[in-house]
């Protein structure tokens, strides 16, 4: 095993994350690092979260039972946050994956990043902006389910998410050129890094494209070229 593989703690808010996305989420996490800690939080005694039962077994997730002593008070949020701080000081993973569409975890994401840890958020498009921006990267579960559907891994009755037209990404991509002069070739990897720094929820899959190079090509606004070393560069097409 590669010793440099990131050790990740995956903490799931079952009250604000659907079990139907679990397989796709863990498949995405496997591209980032190794999910050493896997925990899901919620009041499973009520039966409302019964859909998580199979996923908990299949994905070897540790279930944290959180009884809500008072109606309207979510004890799962508190338990998840407390565990995250304990892991921060006792286990010290390389990063956290917070699975929720709840903005209440904004402060937790900020705190973890202040400690120098990488925070990945996973949630629905309805997730409030503060939580999305508090993460190093925020990944929409709808994009993951679309990809899984194409590979036969999602129920057919689950609706596909709507995609933005590639041209809508032009201002974001252009802004990520930094101080490059008009018509100057720029490293595409550097552009991608600036994009994520400015918009943690940026994802080429939101525009129906597998990667940034495909998205840039589909806009019809940018030129791409690959140098002898295989590095891809991008520039805005010259005005004719």
Sketch the domain layout of the chain as residue ranges.
Answer: 7-150, 166-236
> How far is the C-alpha of 198 from the C-alpha of 207, rounded, in Å?
17
Position 175 pLDDT exceeds 50: yes
Residue indicated by tokens 């980032």: 32
pLDDT digits (tens, 9 = 90+) for 104-141: 999 999 999 999 999 999 999 999 999 999 999 999 99
pLDDT value at position 89?
93
Mean pLDDT of the chain: 90
pLDDT tens for each residue of 12-46: 999 999 999 999 999 999 999 999 999 999 999 87
pLDDT confidence of residue 228: 86
User: In DSSP terms, which residues pair with 120 in a beta bridge?
Assistant: 97, 137
**Homologous superfamily in CATH for domain 166-236:** LOTUS domain-like (3.30.420.610)
The pLDDT tens digits for 141-172 are 999 987 665 555 554 455 556 889 999 999 99
pLDDT computed for residue 67 by the predictor: 78
Do the domains 166-236 and 7-150 match in fold?
A: no
pLDDT at 59: 97
Mean pLDDT to the nearest integer, 164-185: 90
pLDDT at residue 123 in the model: 97
Q: What is the pLDDT of residue 160?
A: 57
Q: Answer whether residue 101 shows pLDDT above 70.
A: yes
Q: What is the pLDDT of residue 151?
A: 58
Instruction: Report the CATH number of the 7-150 domain.
Output: 3.40.50.1010
Residue 61 has, within 13 A of its CA and on its CB side, a CA count of 26
């Amino acid at each position: 095993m590669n010793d440099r593989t990131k050790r990740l703690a995956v903490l799931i808010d079952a009250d604000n994350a659907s079990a139907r996305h679990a397989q796709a989420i863990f498949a995405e996490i496997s591209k980032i690092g190794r999910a050493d800690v896997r925990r899901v939080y919620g009041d499973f005694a009520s039966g409302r979260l019964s859909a998580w039962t199979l996923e908990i077994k299949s994905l070897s997730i540790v279930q944290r039972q959180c009884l809500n002593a008072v109606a309207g008070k979510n004890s799962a949020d508190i338990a998840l946050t407390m565990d995250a701080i304990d892991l921060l000081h006792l286990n010290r993973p390389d990063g956290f994956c917070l699975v929720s569409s709840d903005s209440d975890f904004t402060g937790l994401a900020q705190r973890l990043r202040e400690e120098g840890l990488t925070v990945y958020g996973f949630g629905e498009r309805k997730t409030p902006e503060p939580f999305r921006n508090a993460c190093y990267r925020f990944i929409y579960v709808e994009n993951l389910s679309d990809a899984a559907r194409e590979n036969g891994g999602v129920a057919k009755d689950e609706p596909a998410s709507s995609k933005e037209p590639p041209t809508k990404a032009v201002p974001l991509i252009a802004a990520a050129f930094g101080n490059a002069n008009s018509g100057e070739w720029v490293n595409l990897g550097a552009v991608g890094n600036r994009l994520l720094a400015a918009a943690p929820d940026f994802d080429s899959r939101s525009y129906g494209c597998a990667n940034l190079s495909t998205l840039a090509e589909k806009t019809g606004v940018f030129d791409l070229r690959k140098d002898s070393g295989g590095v891809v560069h991008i520039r805005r097409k010259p005005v004719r």
